[in-house]
Structure 1
Amino acid sequence: MFSTVIEQIVNGIVTGSVYAIVAVGMTMIFGVLRAINFAHGEYYMLGTFGAWFAVDYLGLSYEASIIVGVLSTIIVAYVVGRLVMQRMVGAPAEAGVLATLGIALVLQNTVILVFGGGYKFFSGGYIEPLSVLGFSLAAQRILILVVCLLVFIGLELMVTYSRMGKSMRAVSQNVECCEVVGIDVPKVVLHTFILGAALAALSGVLTAPVNVSVYGGMGELITFKTLPIIIMGGLGNVRGTFFAAMILGIAESLVATYVGLQFRDTVGFATLILMLMWRPYGLFSTQARF
């Protein structure tokens, strides 16, 4: 019994790592734009489809498909960022909601139109099992966990020491003051948006071998998983996002095992409701962005 609980917690941590990589991009975008990106899951989908195309149609290795998936998403994110997201600086929150919902519909239906609406089998990845501390895990799951830790360490170093990271922190605190002192706010917004989309794509590519199948509507579920995480973690708080993602991943794993798999997808919003009843501003202060 105890070993089963520990095994599910380990699985939950891996699932939480997937959510964390996606959610940290969304929470950074919120930090600089003060708007929820409802199309964020679509970049997860684009990265997955880019990798699938590279493996199945171009015959590339899984390692190369990771680069193809992320780079193709970065190109799309650059276009969307230039045409739409930079115009959202200073715009009402409602404008951001409508714009990102429209982008989500366009991206999702474009992928369905090009590749079809059916499920596709993803054949790449490291699916061989490895024994770690007495537990058997697929090598791909271990890779996801390692990449998650590296991503958050890298982000922490970037926002603390790099010029762009400091600019992102400044914009997240006060846009008007940044404009007064000469910080190029649209440029910061664009770079943050591209970084967030690239992280979502990276998560999609890493998760594809575990999910096995890819389909055009897969981004919707990820978006709805991400929303409770960034709210629980404190809107715009990167460190809070990490811990909130781990809590959700572990909760989902335990509920799926001991309550029923059909209840797994309800855990996020149930946890969110309970959290907001206890701490309306989330686990961590929204003032401690980045």
Structure 2
Amino acid sequence: MYFLLEQILNGVSSGAVYAIVAVGMTMIFGVMRAINFAHGEYYMIGTFGGWYATSALGLPYPAAILFGVAVTIVIAYVIGKFVMQRMIGAPVEASVVATLGVSLVLQNTAILIFGGSYKFFSAGYIEPVFFGDVGIAQQRLLIILVCILVFLGLELMVGFTRMGKTIRAVSQNIEACEVVGIDVKKVVMTTFILGTALAGFSGILTAPVNVSVYGGMGEIITFKTLPIIVMGGLGNVRGTLAAAMILGIAESLVAGHFGLQYRDSVGFITLILMLLWRPHGLFSSRARF
């Protein structure tokens, strides 16, 4: 029983990580109607930023989080300005090719700068906390807490701020927004930077748990994010959170009972089953934002 509870807690923390990453991709899809296949690379950039801040600059972990997110935002701004804004109204195929190209550029640039070897991330809060006989690392509890705060913040922003309302408007009808004078490019840029910043933030939060940092770490995150946004309903923020938790707990249970080597297969199997059985997701797309 204690082993099962530990697996569920670890699954919830993994689901929290996936949720923070996936909600960014979901929001970008909502305003652009395009899947960002480079989204995992921003997770990688944030992680490398945090690793460089702690290992080379000697910054404490909280400052490394800010440094990694700042680096992610700067790179996202450049890419958003020269690539993503040009994808507004473009065919889906164009956005797929463009984001895949960006993914390759970012991944290979990181390998060129930092090398292809694995880096050790030594910062973070890895001491365990025990609830009776059930133990969980402090970092995993921090991830769960941050996930709750992120989704509460997004709910408040989308529901009560001017920018949140314009994001909802653009997600519903781009042409009508242009007619009434909404700066669609500005909304796309803001949403893109917010989504990529969340991915980078998630990477730094997860680094103490993953321990290893390497140039290709973004690929698996992108492939795990895809089944989440499909299962949650494309563009559905609340559905994304529920789908991420389902996938995280399922992966943890499979890894605990059948072996770690089978964990990553859960996401791919989920994606195939969802596309065959319910391609619109488990939750209504009308709940977008």
Q: Same fold (TM over 0.5)?
A: yes
**C-alpha distance in 2, partners of 1:229/1:77?**
22
Distance 2:44 2:6 in 1: 28
Where does residue 50 of structure 2 map in the other structure?
51
Shift of 1:278: 3.8
CA distance, structure 2, for counterparts of residue 94 and residue 33 of structure 1: 13
Q: Which residue of 2 aligns with 1:207?
A: 206
Letter in 2 for 1:30: F
Query: Is contact 2:38–2:99 with CA below 8 Å preserved after alignment?
Result: yes
Name the counterpart of 1:236: 235
SS in 2 for 1:38: coil
Instruction: Kindly state the Cα deviation for residue 260 of structure 1 after the two structures are TM-superposed.
Output: 2.1
Please say if residues 20 and 202 of structure 2, whose CA atoms lie closer than 8 Å, have aligned partners that are also in contact: yes
Secondary structure of residue in 1 paired with 2:136: strand
**How far is 1:269 from its partner?**
1.8
Q: Percentage identity across aligned positions?
A: 72
Instruction: Determine the structure 1 residue equivalent to 2:186.
Output: 187
* Alignment-derived partner of residue 101 in structure 1: 100
Computed over aligned residues only, the root mean square deviation of the Cα atoms, in angstroms, reads: 1.0
**Preserved CA contact (<8 Å) 2:230 2:279:** no
- How far off its partner does 1:262 sit? 1.2
Per the TM alignment, residue 288 of structure 1 is displaced from its structure 2 partner at its CA by 2.0
CA distances 1:142-170 after superposition (whole Å, capped 9, x unpaired):
00000000000000000000111110001
The residue that corresponds to 1:257 in the other structure is 256
Q: What is the CA distance between 1:279 and its match in structure 2?
A: 2.6
Q: Letter of the 1:283 partner, please give it.
A: L
2:145 maps to: 146
Deviates more, 1:56-65 or 1:128-137: 128-137
- Residue 18 (structure 2) pairs with residue 19 (structure 1): yes
Give the Å deviation of 1:97. Answer: 0.3
Aligned residues: 289
Q: Which residue of 1 aligns with 2:109?
A: 110
Q: Give the Å deviation of 1:47.
A: 0.3
The one-letter code matched in structure 1 to 2:283 is F
Matched, 1:169 2:173: no
Question: Partner residue of 1:74?
Answer: 73
**Counterpart code for 1:169:** R
Q: Which runs of 4+ in 1 moved over 3 A?
A: 275-278
Structure 1 unaligned blocks of 5 or more: none
- SS of aligned partner of 1:216: coil
- The one-letter code matched in structure 2 to 1:13 is V
2:97 is paired with a residue whose SS is: helix
Question: 2:85 — aligned with what?
Answer: 86
Contact 2:32 2:188 in 1 (8 A): yes
Distance 2:28 2:131 in 1: 35
SS at match of 1:131: strand
CA distance 1:133–1:148, change in 2 (3 Å): farther
The alpha carbon displacement at 1:134 in A equals: 4.2
Q: Counterpart of 2:37?
A: 38
* Letter of the 2:242 counterpart: F
Aligned to 2:159: 160
Q: Please give the alpha-carbon distance, in whole angstroms, between the structure 1 residues aligned to 2:149 and 2:72.
A: 20
Say if 2:59 is the partner of 1:60: yes
Q: Deviations over 1:126-145 (max 9, x none)?
A: 11111235421111110000
In 2, Cα distance between the equivalents of 1:146 and 1:209? Answer: 16
Q: Distance in 2 between matches of 1:35 and 1:129?
A: 40
Secondary structure of 1:282's counterpart equals coil
In structure 1, the residue matched to 2:118 is 119
Aligned partners of 1:249, 1:173: CA distance in 2, in Å? 30
- 1:227 is matched with which residue? 226
The letter for the 2-side match of 1:212 is V
Secondary structure at 2:285's aligned position in 1?
coil
TM norm structure 1: 0.98
Structure 1 residue 206, shift from structure 2 partner: 0.3
Shift, 1:287, TM fit: 2.5
Partner deviation per Cα, 1:237-289 (whole Å, 9 max, x = no partner): 00000000000000001111112221111101212233344433101112221
SS at match of 2:135: strand
Partner in structure 1 of residue 136 of structure 2: 137
Separation in 2, partners of 1:276, 1:110: 33
TM-aligned CA deviation for residue 190 of structure 1: 0.2
Instruction: Tell me the CA shift for residue 194 of structure 1.
Output: 0.1
C-alpha distance in 1 between matches for 2:178 and 2:287 = 21
